């Protein structure tokens, strides 16, 4: 196994990007490969921190790398970003963060006392992705690389990949299900006879899921840099977060995302991790912090996060090409 290039943006195994860049050079696409690899892209959620990832996806798209992936996994905001990436709207998705989502129409803490969700998914689905920066919803399910939407069963807080999406309404429902959090972004969403909440609750990053599904190489996009991770990756959830989860499924877990991201990153960097197996894992993370949280609506900070994400992906690709 090769070591990662000397880039603060790239963690894990350089071979992942080597395969991706080889595919770019060969001009191959899903279903017509010149190698025996299966390459998955895993996109984490994180609310407005997803601006970092949106910038990374814009850079990957600009580099012509969409056809290099065989499947894309997304949870929460990562599901929406993955949908944009696969349908050719990565640049529009990146622009939507400072232009359309950095507003109290989308996120407003004052709504907490009114019984309405703090995060207005209706605004995202209907206003932003419906008219301002339209998503090609009808193409989902038909893209060369499929989108795997991860959501959490509200009953037992286990993660699952949603299936059976055929219509635009199905895809809207599935992506809502993957992003819903009671009190924060709306009640559990019913789909396929079960009730779902944010996929990040049970599975912040679907790396192990991708490996179990047959991926040989996995590239993970992180919405948290080293400065935003908990100092103790083994700390687990605090008592208050566990108690909050019992009252409002998933809310406490999401609130402590910095702890869980640190543990997930260990799967990338530890080649002997028991959940790793023979697969190759690499992650691109922000090279620096924009100083924003998951509910930030400061357009300047959010725009900076997009720029940092773009810069981080570019740096990782340049380092891998050396």
The residues assigned a catalytic role are: 76, 198
Cite the DSSP H helix spans in the chain. Answer: 15-26, 50-62, 77-86, 90-96, 121-122, 168-177, 199-202, 207-212, 239-247, 251-255, 257-269, 299-321
C-beta of residue 78 within 8 angstroms of C-beta of residue 203: no
Q: How far is Cα 126 from Cα 121, in angstroms, rounded to an integer?
A: 8
Whole-Å CA distances, 216 to 41, 134, 149, 209, 281 = 11, 33, 19, 12, 9
Q: How far is Cα 45 from Cα 203, in angstroms, rounded to an integer?
A: 10
- φ/ψ (deg, to 5) at 61: -65, -45
Residue 141, C-beta contacts closer than 8 angstroms, at least 6 positions apart: 147, 165, 166, 171
First to last CA, the chain: 17
Length of the chain equals 322
The token pair at 211 is: 């490996």
CA 87, 322, 38 angle in degrees (round to 5)?
40
β-pair partners for 209: none
β-pair partners for 141: none
Give the 3-state secondary structure of residue 71.
strand
C-beta of residue 119 within 8 angstroms of C-beta of residue 182: no
C-beta of residue 18 within 8 angstroms of C-beta of residue 286: no
């Amino acid at each position: 196994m090769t070591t990662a290039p000397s880039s603060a943006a790239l963690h894990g195994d350089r071979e992942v990007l080597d395969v991706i860049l080889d595919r770019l050079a060969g001009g191959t696409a899903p279903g017509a490969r010149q190698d025996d690899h299966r390459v998955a892209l895993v996109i984490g959620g994180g609310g407005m921190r997803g601006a970092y990832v949106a910038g990374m996806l814009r850079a990957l798209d600009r580099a012509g790398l969409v056809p290099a992936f065989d499947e894309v996994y997304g949870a929460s905001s990562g599901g929406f970003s993955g949908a944009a990436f696969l349908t050719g709207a990565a640049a529009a998705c990146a622009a939507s963060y400072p232009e359309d989502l950095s507003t109290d129409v989308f996120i407003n803490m004052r709504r907490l006392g009114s019984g309405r969700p703090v995060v207005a998914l209706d605004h995202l689905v209907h206003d932003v992705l419906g008219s301002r920066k339209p998503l090609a919803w009808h193409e989902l399910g038909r893209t060369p690389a499929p989108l795997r939407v991860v959501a959490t069963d509200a009953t037992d807080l286990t993660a699952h990949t949603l299936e059976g999406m055929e219509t635009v309404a199905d895809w809207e429902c599935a992506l809502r299900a993957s992003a819903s959090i009671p009190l924060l972004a709306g009640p559990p969403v019913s789909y396929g006879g079960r009730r779902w909440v944010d996929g990040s609750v049970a599975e912040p990053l679907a790396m192990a899921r991708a490996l179990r599904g047959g991926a040989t190489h996995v590239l993970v996009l992180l919405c948290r840099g080293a400065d935003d991770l908990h100092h103790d990756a083994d700390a687990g959830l605090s008592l208050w977060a566990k108690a909050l989860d019992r009252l409002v499924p998933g809310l406490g877990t999401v609130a402590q995302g910095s702890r869980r991201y640190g543990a997930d990153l260990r799967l990338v960097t530890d080649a002997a991790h028991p959940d790793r197996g023979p697969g190759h894992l690499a992650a691109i993370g922000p090279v620096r912090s924009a100083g924003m949280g998951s509910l930030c609506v400061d357009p300047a900070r959010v725009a900076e996060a997009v720029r940092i994400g773009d810069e981080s992906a570019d740096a990782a690709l340049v380092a891998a090409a050396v």
